[in-house]
Structure 1
């Protein structure tokens, strides 16, 4: 699950409740990883309180700050016994730098395959796909080279996720990415909004905010390959969808799903 940032942690806890409710039956332990954050001592207690309020039996607050800690046996044990693994916000490049290729990342991937919930907010969401945005001003990102990308954590393929999407006007960042490789689906997460990536490759929007889909598969043309760095990008026929809670998107079929269609498709896969 990917969350756009600034999710409610003190009131209704709508999004965090969905995270916790998806945990495997009889496993109410939660691991919160604050590697991306520059202020872990401030953010970890907030998430601990929120998940405890939701009914977590134990909340493991993991401040993994270097690659030695990302190989720590005690940390691995806590991850292996958790039904929910949650990444806080901060700096996604710091997150991938510290845990990329580590024993901790391998353990999280194994937990995901075994049915645990892996979720992240803000930087933690942006780092989830195999391809990750780590920088790029929103004001003029439709110039070649204005968006910086690298490899993410690889929990989901075929997507590029951007957070704080509406609040920080980041449309042009995902538009440039769509022009560079139309196969990748852009997912822009507004604040207090998120998506569940179901096993059947269907996205489900959750929370009171918006989820924006930028679909470039049917891109008619773009000049991006012919430009020098810094020149303006032209794009023809890029499709945008705005999803609200309860709506969805079929990644493989490239099909928007209203609530009834989403429910039917999810029921088929159960």
Structure 2
């Protein structure tokens, strides 16, 4: 059986980091430190994009302080609150020269509405292609895939139509990412998504937890929290196709993994990787 395409675009040499939200920005900076370390050698400029946030004037200084503490030579604070700003030549230039591009949290639909089809998004994709690290937290993580969750209360999920989906930023294929996953009880959101299309791997990010999406299709969990994977590829059955909207969904044989820092997952092989196996596989990769 051919595995579903769940990876970065084949030409990308950079790295994605999806963060579940509420990451440490003032103490050990464990996740942000790893993000910064993944930047191309010699490029210590960081672009922080607060498009998703309704309070960019509060969010941006926090990341400026954190990345400056980590050694950033410059931190570019980019609000990008409308499509005119998403086409701005100077903004595009700042992204083009950054080794790290970081999306803040907020509302993922604002991200796609403002950035979709823009010069800024094109520049971000080109930076990923050329080896930069693109990271996002909360909404900034959820918007990364080609398809994203943008609404749906956890209490109402696992009923047909309870989870709303739309197109994301298209930085990675075959994954559906949800944030604040454990803290807000969002298991059923990814279960409904998996029943709707078993090809997609669900990635549920707990707070202060993240997953590195390596260019060759390996996931690596980092941070103090949990990364939950919901794998529906071998789903045996579900009644979802025959239901009316709002009716409860039945699911047979959906696989769940709980990863902690140092553990990983081979997307193509659908194989859980304990730390030794992950380290070996990453060492073999180009």
Instruction: Give, in whole Å, the separation in 2 of the partners of 1:174 and 1:192.
Output: 19
Gap regions ≥5 residues in structure 1: none
Superposed structure 1 runs of 4+ greater than 3 Å apart: none
Instruction: Give, in whole Å, the separation in 2 of the partners of 1:93 and 1:104.
Output: 16
Pick aligned residue for 1:101 from 117, 122, 135 = 117
Alignment of 1:178-189 (within 5 A): 178-189=194-205
Matched pairs, number: 270
1:139 match: secondary structure: helix
Q: Provide the residue aligned with 1:39 in structure 2.
A: 55
Q: Provide the residue aligned with 2:65 in structure 1.
A: 49
1:218-249 deviations in Å (ceiling 9; x for gaps): 10000000000000000000000000000000
Task: State the TM-score, normalizing by the size of structure 1.
Answer: 1.00
1:145-199 deviations in Å (ceiling 9; x for gaps): 0000000001110100000000000000000000001000000000000000001
- Find out whether 1:264 has 2:280 as its counterpart: yes
Instruction: Give, in whole Å, the separation in 1 of the partners of 2:277 and 2:168.
Output: 31
Instruction: Give, in whole Å, the separation in 1 of the partners of 2:194 and 2:267.
Output: 14
Shift of 1:63: 0.4
Shift of 1:29: 0.1
- Larger RCO: 1 or 2 (CA < 8 Å, sep 6+): 2
Alignment of 1:204-223 (within 5 A): 204-223=220-239
Q: CA RMSD in A?
A: 0.4
Alignment of 1:186-201 (within 5 A): 186-201=202-217
Instruction: Give, in whole Å, the separation in 2 of the partners of 1:23 and 1:210.
Output: 24
Q: Provide the residue aligned with 2:23 in structure 1.
A: 7
Instruction: Give, in whole Å, the separation in 2 of the partners of 1:139 and 1:202.
Output: 32
Task: State the TM-score, normalizing by the size of structure 2.
Answer: 0.94
2:155 match: secondary structure: coil
- Find out whether 1:253 has 2:269 as its counterpart: yes
- Find out whether 1:85 has 2:101 as its counterpart: yes
Gap regions ≥5 residues in structure 2: 1-16
1:245 match: secondary structure: coil
Instruction: Give, in whole Å, the separation in 2 of the partners of 1:226 and 1:256.
Output: 33
Instruction: Give, in whole Å, the separation in 2 of the partners of 1:2 and 1:194.
Output: 5
Shift of 1:76: 0.6
Instruction: Give, in whole Å, the separation in 2 of the partners of 1:32 and 1:129.
Output: 19
Shift of 1:140: 2.2
Pick aligned residue for 2:150 from 127, 134, 137 = 134
- Find out whether 1:72 has 2:88 as its counterpart: yes
Instruction: Give, in whole Å, the separation in 2 of the partners of 1:250 and 1:210.
Output: 17
Shift of 1:15: 0.1
